[in-house]
Amino acid sequence: MAIAQRGPIGVFDSGYGGLTVLKELANRLPQYDYTYLGDNARAPYGNRSFDTVYRYTLQCVEWLFGLGCPLVILACNTASAKALRTIQQNDLPRIAPDNRVLGVIRPTTEMVGNYTHTGNVGILATRGTVLSESYPIEIAKFFPELRVYQQACPLWVPLIENNEHDKPGADYFVKEYMDLLNQQSRDIDTVLLACTHYPLLKDKIARYLPPGSRLISQGEIVATSLADYLHRHPEMETRCSRNGQILFYTTDSTEDFNNHASTFYGKELQSTHLPLN
Ligand code: DGL
């Protein structure tokens, strides 16, 4: 029997946000190799149609498979909400039946009920993620008694991608969406940052939450879930290469990516350009 070639774990996002997840994966599971792809040339995905997000995501997943990744994490809620299921059910059996694609929504929804005391959970996400209803549907499977309040924050990703999140102008838009969330219920005590970009706004968002509330980022949760997945799937774990190497690709300018990425990743990095066809 031929021994399957080992390869890096692929990590995909529309742009920079997935770097907040990759950072936690590399902290928690530093022994593996990772290949990150940011589709910066076509970001943001948040307001795009289902069909467009699906096509872009599938193209990027196929590219990561082509690079030898046996496992790809969609470190993007919008892609997880709009493309993951179709890719898992329709495309994988055809293009790479032995490979796997995982998202960030399921691991988070499995955990969120453990944080709340009031049973009222807020979801902050892109418009696409909110409209998909993925969070209320998935949370109901694990914690049917929870009340879930969603708020789309369409201007936050552009602010973050344009490096405006630390500036006073961002406060206006943080307040605007947090007011809308808080108007939905006064009893929300747990708020999930259901967009991998939003941890960069965490401090500003926290100002609009009652004392004692929990504000949850996904990175650590996804890292714990990946560790568990690899433990439960030795057939996949043995296909993941282990040299502790991380490579970065972007579909847009490498200069921009290198300059901006450290804000999300916490250290400097060098990327390679991936030309889109
Ligand atoms: N980082 C993506 C997410 O988690 C969204 C960014 C975008 O709109 O492209 O939803």
9-103+220-273 placed in CATH 3.40.50.300: no
End-to-end CA gap in the chain:
36
217 lines ligand 1 (CB under 6 A): no
Tell me whether residue 60 is one of the annotated catalytic residues: no
195 lines ligand 1 (CB under 6 A): yes
Q: Ligand 1: distance of its center to the CA of 269 in Å? A: 21
pTM: 0.95
Share of residues in the chain with pLDDT > 90 (%): 95
Tell me whether residue 69 is one of the annotated catalytic residues: no
How far apart CA 177 and CA 191 sit, in angstroms, is 13
> Could you tell me the two tokens for 134?
């993925």
Domains 9-103+220-273 and 106-217 share a fold: yes
Distances (CA, A) of 240 to 7, 34, 71, 185, 230: 5, 9, 8, 44, 9
Q: Give 48-104 pLDDT, tens digit per residue.
A: 999 999 999 999 999 999 999 999 999 999 999 999 999 999 999 999 999 999 999
Which of 151, 195, 218 has most ligand 1 atoms within 8 Å of CB, for mutation?
Answer: 195
Q: Give 210-266 pLDDT, tens digit per residue.
A: 899 999 999 999 999 999 999 999 999 999 999 999 999 999 999 999 999 999 999
Q: What is the side-by-side strand order in the sheet with 9-13?
A: 100-102, 71-74, 9-13, 34-38, 246-250, 272-273
pLDDT tops 70 at residue 2? no
How far apart CA 206 and CA 245 sit, in angstroms, is 34
Looking at the DSSP assignment, which residues form a beta bridge with residue 273? Answer: 250
Q: Ligand 1: distance of its center to the CA of 16 in Å? A: 9
Domain boundaries, the chain: 9-103+220-273, 106-217
106-217 placed in CATH 3.40.50.1860: yes
Preceding omega of 44 cis (within 30 degrees of 0): yes
Whether the CB-CB separation of 27 and 265 falls below 8 Å is answered with no
